[in-house]
Amino acid sequence: MQPPIAYKAYVAETASLRTSGINSGFLLEFPKSTMLPNERVIQNQNNKVHLIMDYINQHYVEPIVLSDLAEKVHLSKEYLCQLFKKVNGFSIFDYITDVRIAYAKTLLILNKNERIKEY
């Protein structure tokens, strides 16, 4: 992916300033502290997915409804599912199932002497 034209122009300008002997620390450091627009979008998407994962990790014993998850991060259900899979490589439903299975395994290990019964 190519950087935006404005960024390329900025890089060329700062290189020109360096070779001409003008040294502006702020000007030269500014792009390091900012993200390109595409990077901001990706970071925002990752943040939303991680918020959902945190929610699932805290509420896995409760019923989890996709529309509620989507509402929490202000996305449609469809887009949340696509985004979650894009970021993690597995579906949101697989993640919920895996978290619940991991919890069940932990309960089985910790309670070896108890009988397994249906609730």
User: Residue 55: how many CA atoms within 13 Å on its side-chain side?
Assistant: 17
pTM for this one?
0.63
CA distance 31 to 34: 5
pLDDT tens profile 41-76? 788 888 999 999 999 999 999 999 999 999 999 999
pLDDT over threshold 60, residue 20: no
pLDDT over threshold 90, residue 95: yes
The arithmetic mean of pLDDT across residues 14-19, rounded, is 53
The arithmetic mean of pLDDT across residues 110-116, rounded, is 81
For 2, 3, 16, 88, the CA distances from 36, given in Å and listed in that order, are 11, 8, 21, 22
Domain edges within the chain:
1-34, 36-119
Q: Is domain 36-119 classified as CATH 1.10.10.60?
A: yes
CA of residue 115 relative to chain centroid, distance: 40
